[in-house]
Amino acid sequence: MEPLISVVVVTYNRARYLKEALDSILRQTFKNYEIILVDDGSVDNTKEIVEQYEGIRYIYQEHGGISKARNTAVKAAKGKWIATLDSDDLWKKEKLQKQVDYLEAHPECRIVYTAFCNFADVSEDILNERQAKLLQSAGRSYLPSALIDARLFDEIGLYDETIEWGEDIEWIFRSRFFKIDIGHCIDEVLYLRRVHGSNISITTKEISNLGFWKMASDAYRKIKRDGKQLKR
């Protein structure tokens, strides 16, 4: 029997955090899922950690960036729904079950988020005021927290491999152009996003300097370039 959910984990030199991330998947109360882990050319002991687990589909590829790695995982997925966990983040154990329950109650839903919060993996003494405030906040509409209808990647397209970061936001802009309802969210923190020394600057840039209008225009141009028809 095919799994209902394909859990996608993309990693690059995150061996330090990977075991915690995988354990948080395996603790899920919902069990009808597969795990696909794409190793984007890690040079640490990522493979050795994955080999400690049974049943994980491990795919190694040369380093090509997060979009390419996520696309590899999506293409390999067998589930009707796709869930993503960044390899330095964590899920609460009820996450998948609560999302599946939500889908059963809202059959029209094709993407359902959960609320998320940030937690620190560095001393708060080294954080600036902006970063400290970020750690105290929670949010929603963060794509890695979502459970996504796998068919949307055929309809909307895969992640844009030409952009270095923000690929999830660009994909959401495309979904908006296709009139996909992205307003479904479980208002409970079920996704924990780790802030650590090597991603603090990215997190800050993501929030304050992204340039949403450019991202939106890039999404629209990609749709036209690929010849996809927008919904009226």
For residue 184, pLDDT over 60 is answered with yes
- Residue 132 CA to residue 137 CA, distance in Å, equals 9
Give the mean pLDDT of 195-217.
53
Given this model, what pLDDT does residue 218 score? 61
Q: What pLDDT is attached to residue 74?
A: 98
Q: What is the mean pLDDT of residues 202-221?
A: 51
How confident is the model at residue 24, as a pLDDT? 98
Would you list the domain boundaries of the chain?
A: 5-226
Looking at the predicted structure, is the pLDDT value of residue 207 above 50? Answer: no
Torsion of CA 186, 145, 159, 103, to 10 degrees: -40
Residues in contact with 153: Cβ distance below 8 Å, sequence separation at least 6, in sequence order: 74, 82
Please give the backbone phi and psi of residue 231, each rounded to the nearest 5 degrees, phi first: -75, 140
Quote the pLDDT of residue 216: 54
Q: How many CA atoms lie within 13 A of 226 on its CB side?
A: 17
Helices (H), the chain: 15-26, 46-50, 66-76, 95-105, 129-135, 152-155, 167-177, 200-208, 212-226
Question: Percentage of the chain with pLDDT > 70?
Answer: 76
Q: Is residue 112 predicted with pLDDT exceeding 60?
A: yes
Task: Report how far Cα 122 is from the mean position of its chain's Cα atoms.
Answer: 22
| Predicted model pTM | 0.85
Write down the residue that tokens 């929030």 correspond to: 207
Question: Is a pLDDT exceeding 90 seen at residue 199?
Answer: no
Asked if 87 and 10 touch (Cβ cutoff 8 Å), the reply is yes
Q: Would you state the structure tokens that stand for residue 78, as one six-digit string?
A: 């067998």
pLDDT of the residue at 202:
46
Give residue 204's pLDDT. 42
Mean pLDDT of 162-185: 89
Q: Percentage of the chain surpassing pLDDT 90? A: 66
CATH topology of domain 5-226: Spore Coat Polysaccharide Biosynthesis Protein SpsA; Chain A (3.90.550)
For residue 101, the model assigns a pLDDT of 98
pLDDT in tens, 57-102: 999 999 999 999 999 999 999 999 999 999 999 999 999 999 999 9
Residue 106 predicted with pLDDT over 70: yes
Region for 18 from its dihedrals, namely left if φ exceeds 0, alpha if ψ lies in -120 to 50, beta otherwise: alpha
Range from 4-18, 129-143, 194-208 that averages highest in pLDDT: 4-18
| Range in 99-103, 129-133, 161-165, 187-191 with the lowest mean pLDDT | 129-133
The predicted model gives 7-13 an average pLDDT of 97
Question: Cα separation of 116 and 225, whole Å?
Answer: 34
Which pLDDT score is estimated for 179? 93
> How sure is the predictor about 141, in pLDDT bands with cuts at 50, 70 and 90?
confident
Find the radius of gyration of the CA atoms of the chain. Answer: 17
CA distance 56 to 36: 6
